[in-house]
Every structure is written in C-alpha cells, then in structure tokens.
Amino acid sequence: MTRKIALEEHFLVEGFANMGRTEGSGPAAVFRRQAAERLPEIDALRLDAMDKAGIDIAVLSLFQPGIQGERDTATAIRKAKTVNDTLAQRIARHPARFRGFAAVPMQDPQAAADELERAVKELGFKGALINGHTQGVYLDDPRCLPFWERVAALDVPIYLHPANPMTIPAAFEGYPGLAGAIFGWAAETGGHALRLVLSGLFDRFPSLTVILGHMGEALPFYLWRIDSRFKISEPKVSLRQLPSAYIRRNIAVTTAGTFSPEPLRCTIDAMGLDRVLFSVDYPLEDSDEAARFIETSPLSDGEREAVCFRNAERLLRL
C-alpha cells in the first residue's frame, strides 16, 4: 500500500457547533451521529482509521464554519488563538502523525495575519484553512490584503474550504442538501476561488498557493470555458494572463470527498500532476474508501506516489 498524507481532515473542540440533530435511525442521522462522535477525537479512533488506510500524516483543521461563523470580532480573535493552542497540544501527543492548519479570524485581517504567523512560527503549523466567506466578506476584499501579504511572506498555503452561501439561490430551494455538499458548496467555493483569480491577487502575489478540496470544486473541468468567456467579458481588473494560467499555477486541489477515477484523471490532465494531492475529508468521508479509490485508480506508480505523498511533502515542506 502506498503511503499517504491527507490534507483535509477535520476536528472540533468545545465551543463550536457539532453536527446538529443526531437522533433517529435513517442514513442522515447515522452519518451525523458518527461524525459528531469522531470530530472531537484525535487519538485511537482516528489513528486506527489512518493506519488501515495507509495514511502516515493527517493535517488537521477546524470543522466549518469554525472561526468564520463568529459574528463578534474580539470573540473570533480569542477563539482562534484558543483553537490553535488546543490543536498544538493534541498534535504534541502524536507528533509523527499529525500536523495542523491554523484557524484565523478573518473578521480582522491584520489579527488573522498575526495569528497565522504565530501558528506557523511558534506552533509549527503548515498554513491555514479558511471556511469560505467571513460573514459575507470574501477573501478578494481589499481589506484582506494585509493577510495575503503575510501569507506570501510566510510562504505557506491557504486551504479554502466550503461554506454555506449567505443566501440560498432559488435553483436550490426545496431540495435538502442541494445547496450544500451535493452541489451548492462546489459552486460557492469554486466561485470564491475565481474571485481571487479575477481580482488580480495572484498578479500581486505570484507565489501564493490556495488549496481547494473535492477535485478542485469543478474548476479543472471548466478551464477552457472560463478562459473563453473571460476573453469577451469586461473584467473588473486587467490580468497579465488568462484565468486558467493562475488556476494551474496558484491553485492546488485535493481528492477530499471525491473518490472516482474519471474526475481524478481529468484533474491531473487539466491541472498538472504536481497540483493534485490525496485527502479523505475525515470523518465526513470514509478513510478506507478513500484508500481503495486511490490504490485502484488507473495511475502509474509515479503518479500514485505524487498524489499520495510527494506533492504534499513538497508543498508543506514535510
């Protein structure tokens, strides 16, 4: 079995909402109950799942909406520090198996920059995971520039994780889950990433790396059309290159929550082998299923090693 590093693996600590209603015997209740039990646990259960799947290292991040769900700025700043300190203590119990992505209070981008630097330099974290917009403010907002300046200086990746949209589009109304993980989160998060591209952020900071889960939230399958329609648009900002060039250069994608060989092949071909990384989305997805998928997908040995661990080693400097 190929050794693996997983980048979108979630946890929860006291003070943050868990999975909601867990009573009942239907599939949704069973799923929520299992996730609610496993999210706070960073010991035997999680390590056992990793061992069975051949996962050497899991990079842990606070489950959504996390800090982005806090309305009060002072509370967000305080909670981010507490969460990161707690995660560092948990990682210290199993330092060979776990790493961390910081939670950052984007309610105050300067404070977020300071907390990211502390988490990277003092706690040894490998970057940050941000759960989408922060109370409707997206990361292309000019107020976020001090944060991106610090990210570029620290040279660490930012994992852009899905979040619920501020309002539910009419096309999704009336169908449970459609606005969320079934499809809506991909549209929300892929659109958020395109905002970063179209804002000129990657012209300003060419070294940035943003990570998207779920095979890139559909962007790898849409590159030609993005470029085609961009050419005849009236862009807000003039870009030095076509959007697909930034997506291939500044965005990396993981297999988290998308265990199908056809999208994997397309993503590798569209993005380049060095931009695709293995992940599970634990405990929302099953580690064994993720492992079977990547071990049986029609990849060469070199491709499998690159996706499973070599790309992560390089990106995270492991």
Question: Within 10 A of 238 (CB to CB), how many other CB atoms are there?
Answer: 7
In the set 108, 114, 140, 281, the catalytic residue is 281
- Report how far residue 204's alpha carbon sits from residue 221's, in angstroms, rounded to the nearest whole number: 26
Give 48's contacts (C-beta < 8 A, 6+ positions apart).
Answer: none
Of 150, 151, 171, the C-alpha closest to 159 is 151
Whole-angstrom Cα Rg for the chain: 19
Of 120, 133, 130, the C-alpha closest to 62 is 130
Give 196's contacts (C-beta < 8 A, 6+ positions apart).
Answer: 139, 140, 202, 210
- Report how far residue 134's alpha carbon sits from residue 145's, in angstroms, rounded to the nearest whole number: 15
Active site residue 281: yes
- Report how far residue 187's alpha carbon sits from residue 62's, in angstroms, rounded to the nearest whole number: 22
The tokens describing 122, both together, are: 């003092």
Q: Is residue 222 a contact partner of residue 195, using CB atoms and an 8 Å limit?
A: no
What is the set of active-site residues?
Answer: 281
